[in-house]
Structure 1
Amino acid sequence: MNYDTFVDQVAQRTRTSSEQAVALTRATLETLAERLTGGEVLDLAAQLPKPLQLVLKPSPRTESAERFGAAEFVARVAVRADVTEPAARDAARAVFVTLREAISGGEFDDVVVQLPRDFRDMVEPAMAPGATLRRS
């Protein structure tokens, strides 16, 4: 999936402008990169378009993941994107579904396995049968 398609999908799913979708995508991916191990960030970045690779800032030197739950994840996305926490949670769901469509299933599973159970409501829409066919 190319960058424009990724952003368009997030914009459609969040019912926002392309500009807002870029901000929401950046905020979600930056926060996700903090939550994943460095090696996983590198693997994820390798499957994304260049502008999104730069957002992840992959570094093999940053091997350890920060340990925080879904509430902190949403709070960080909200601050970064300058939106409310409910909007940040919806955006994270939209980005996860779009991410699932953009990368291999095995890679998406590798990302999800590093997230604690309280991320379930944000990740499950991407795991649902037919998620790659769903359009909001």
Structure 2
Amino acid sequence: MNYDTFVDQVAQRAGVPSTRAVELTRATLETLAERLTGGEALDLAAQLPKPLQLLLRKTPSTEHAQRFGAAEFVARAGQRADADPVATRTGIRAVFATLREAISGGEFDDVTAQLPRDYRDLVEAATTTGAALRRA
């Protein structure tokens, strides 16, 4: 999946303009990079378009996964995207649903395996029929 298609799908799923989808995607992937181990972030990045790969780049000081729950994930992503919690949750769900389509099923499973149960509400939308694109 190319970058423009990724952003367009996030925009459709979240019901936001493309410019807002870019912000929500950036915020979600940067926060996800903090939550994943360095190796997993690299594996995920390898399957994404170049502009998205850069968002998942780890440094030696961020090689280890930070441990924080779903509420903190939403708070961090919301702060990055300058969005309220409802819009942030919607955006995160849209990004996860789009990731599910953009990467291999095995890689998606590897990513979600690193997330605790309280992320279920954010990630499950990616595996249900509700993740289908909204049709106009």
TM-score normalized by the length of structure 1: 0.93
Structure with more helix by fraction: 2
Q: 1:43 to 1:20 in 2, by over 3 A?
A: same
What is the CA distance between 1:121 and its match in structure 2? 0.6
The one-letter amino acid paired with 1:47 is: Q
Partner of 1:4: 4
Counterpart-to-counterpart distance in 2, 1:44 and 1:56: 8
What is the CA distance between 1:62 and its match in structure 2? 3.6
Partner of 1:71: 71
Partner of 1:135: 133
Counterpart-to-counterpart distance in 2, 1:22 and 1:51: 11
The one-letter amino acid paired with 1:135 is: L
In the alignment of these two chains, the number of paired residues is: 134
Partner of 1:34: 34
Counterpart-to-counterpart distance in 1, 2:127 and 2:60: 28
Partner of 2:17: 17
Structure 1 contact 6–98 (Cα < 8 Å) conserved: yes
Structure 1 residues 30-74: Cα deviation after superposition (integer angstroms, max 9, x where no partner): 000000000000000000000000111234764310000000000
Query: Any unmatched runs of 5+ in structure 1?
Result: none
The one-letter amino acid paired with 2:32 is: L
Structure 2 contact 13–94 (Cα < 8 Å) conserved: yes
Counterpart-to-counterpart distance in 2, 1:45 and 1:4: 16
Structure 1 residues 81-112: Cα deviation after superposition (integer angstroms, max 9, x where no partner): 00001111111000000000000000000000
The one-letter amino acid paired with 2:133 is: R
Structure 1 contact 7–22 (Cα < 8 Å) conserved: yes
Counterpart-to-counterpart distance in 1, 2:3 and 2:25: 11
Counterpart-to-counterpart distance in 2, 1:69 and 1:112: 13
Query: Any unmatched runs of 5+ in structure 2?
Result: none
Counterpart-to-counterpart distance in 1, 2:49 and 2:9: 14
Partner of 2:114: 114
TM-score normalized by the length of structure 2: 0.93
Structure 1 residues 108-135: Cα deviation after superposition (integer angstroms, max 9, x where no partner): 000000000000011011122685xx11
